[in-house]
Structure 1
Amino acid sequence: MPAGETVRGLLELTRPVNVVAASVLTFIGAFVAGGVLEQPLAVGAAVAATGLAVGAGNAINDYFDREIDRINQPERAIPRGAVSPRGALGFSIVLFGAAVSLAVTLPTVAIVIAGLNLAALVAYTEVFKGLPGLGNALVAYLVGSTFLFGAAAVGEIGPAVVLFILAAIATVSREIIKDVEDLEGDREEGLRTLPIAIGERRALQIALGLLVVGVFASPVPFLLGYFGSAYLLVVIPADILMLYAGYESFDDPTAGQSRLKYGTFLAALAFIFGRALEFGGL
């Protein structure tokens, strides 16, 4: 296998879009807590630790999921032979080690969150993924906790709690839709995901219902005074996109979960733009 293809495969294992998105959420958590300018080194360490941990978690997930991916995602790095299973495992360990070395420089609450998250990332595929709803809830916690981690890194977790809740709602919906997308391979491996346990349509109805709850809750940061009116101008298109993604998933789960990911990222940008423009007096 050419070295260039191996490097590309290793990069693919980390899911760069997910790494960037999670890092941005950590930055937003610190930003909402008001610590970006006051504690730039802590914010930088938290953002980098998040990116490394997410990359490590995705890599080890692909290691454990390699047989399922031969059915569901044969183009991924391990099934197509770009990276060996042992290489993926070793790569994930290196990334985890780098994440830990940065996390231990942060305040105690941030270290506790990081420790819980690292344990959850490792346990997800082997313990939680095949349990109806629990695996989805764990992933939702991990995504939402990036806000909490960023805020804890600068010593003020309170303002990020509402962002954690909103992100978790959107994420659990996307995870349910992804389980519908991966139904064939999950059933082949004997996993008992939510769509397998209760049926595809009912699972998608739950996902859409959660999205509706999240959309109705999205103005809460504005109402609590965390963001100015500019936040609403950005979050409303994100809400529309996410609702459409939930509706689309009934016909095309692959397109729906992909669109939902970008809707969630757009909502995250609404948080940071709203806060930034508030500082500017808008």
Structure 2
Amino acid sequence: MDLCRPLNAVLAGVLTLIGAYVAGRPLAGAALVAALATVFAVAAGNAINDYFDREIDRINAPERPIPRGAVSPRAALAFSVALFAAAVVLALSLPMVAVAIAAVNLVALVAYTKLFKGLPGAGNAVVAYLGGSTFLFGAAAVGRPLAGAVLALLAALSTLAREVVKDVEDVAGDREEGLNTLPIAVGERPALLVAAGVLALAVLASPLPYVTDLFGVAYLAVVVPADAVMAYAAYLAFSDPTRAQGLLKYGMVLAAAAFVVGRTFA
């Protein structure tokens, strides 16, 4: 089970449900199908990422299933294919916009490690898009894709910053494997400055749902603490990237909760 990182996969499914909730149809059958498809797709992406990253993980994450010998690379690949197949079957029952989002996401998940991960900023951008698209996918599944657009954008910006910080944390293994991630290409401090700038943009944009009268003051009551957590994480990243990226994940969950609160009390 460690191979698919079930907690992350289930969290992605919950974010898809939040996208549907923000769009106004949280209990629609299509929302539940989309959430389950997301769980399978993210689990598959994690498994195939471990397959391709098995040599890097011997340095950066030796506790993962393949480096520690809990599963063979071939078994990990087969497991990933099975999960991808399940995600495809589920996604095909959804509206065409949702199917298109799912198709792009599946291609991005498969191509990420081999094509994008080692390019400065490109891999970060792909993961950021995937993070934001969970909300977009949920909204599209219930026929209102634009309703999830602002949430998707804010999530993508936060994810982009977190991924850059994570690359700083993983510099040793990535350099050993010959990857050219952003901190390796431009230096760790400039990369962290990029992350801080992206987070600043996300924080500055976070009041938009309130300013545009989409949500009321209840949204602000939750999103302001989320902004504070992310701002502190940006500061902390310069001295402790590992702790900072964990805080960023917490801040992103809190920001998603702000949208739930905002929608509930709108």
TM beyond 0.5 = yes
Match of 2:217 among 207, 224, 229: 229
Shift of residue 277 of structure 1?
2.3
- Name the structure 2 match of 1:253: 241
Q: Secondary structure at the match of 1:202?
A: helix
The answer to whether the 8 Å contact 2:18/2:26 transfers is no
- The answer as to whether partners of 1:59 and 1:91 remain within 8 angstroms in 2 is yes
Aligned to 2:172: 184
Q: Distance in 2 between matches of 1:102 and 1:123?
A: 21
Query: Residue 24 of structure 1 is aligned with which of 14, 19, 30?
Result: 14
Counterpart-to-counterpart distance in 2, 1:12 and 1:277? 37
Q: How does 1:107-256 map to 2 (within 5 A)?
A: 107-256=95-244
For 2:116, the aligned partner's letter is F
TM-score (norm 2): 0.98
Aligned residues with identical type, % of pairs:
64
Alpha-carbon offset, residue 84 of structure 1 = 1.2
Q: CA deviation at 1:100?
A: 0.6
**Structure 1 length as normaliser, TM-score?**
0.92
Which secondary structure does the structure 1 equivalent of 2:265 belong to? Answer: helix
Q: CA deviation at 1:21?
A: 2.3
Q: Are 1:15 and 2:5 an aligned pair? A: yes
Mapped to 1, the partners of 2:226 and 2:260 lie a distance apart of 14
Residues of 2 paired with 1:13 and 1:277: CA distance?
39
Aligned partners of 1:156, 1:241: CA distance in 2, in Å? Answer: 30
Residue ranges of structure 1 left out of the alignment (5+ in a row): 1-10
Counterpart in 1 of 2:86? 98
Report if the CA contact (8 A) 1:72-1:182 is conserved: yes
Letter in 1 for 2:25: G
Amino acid at match of 1:230: A
Map of 2:57 onto structure 1: 69
Secondary structure of 1:76's aligned partner = coil
1:273 aligns with 2:234: no
Counterpart of 1:82?
Answer: 70
CA contact (8 A) 2:9 2:43 kept: yes
Q: How many residues align?
A: 266
Contact persistence 2:175–2:184 (CA under 8 A): yes
Structure 2: give runs of 5+ residues left out of the alignment.
none
Amino acid at match of 1:137: A
**SS of structure 2 residue aligned to 1:78:** coil
Q: CA RMSD in A?
A: 1.0
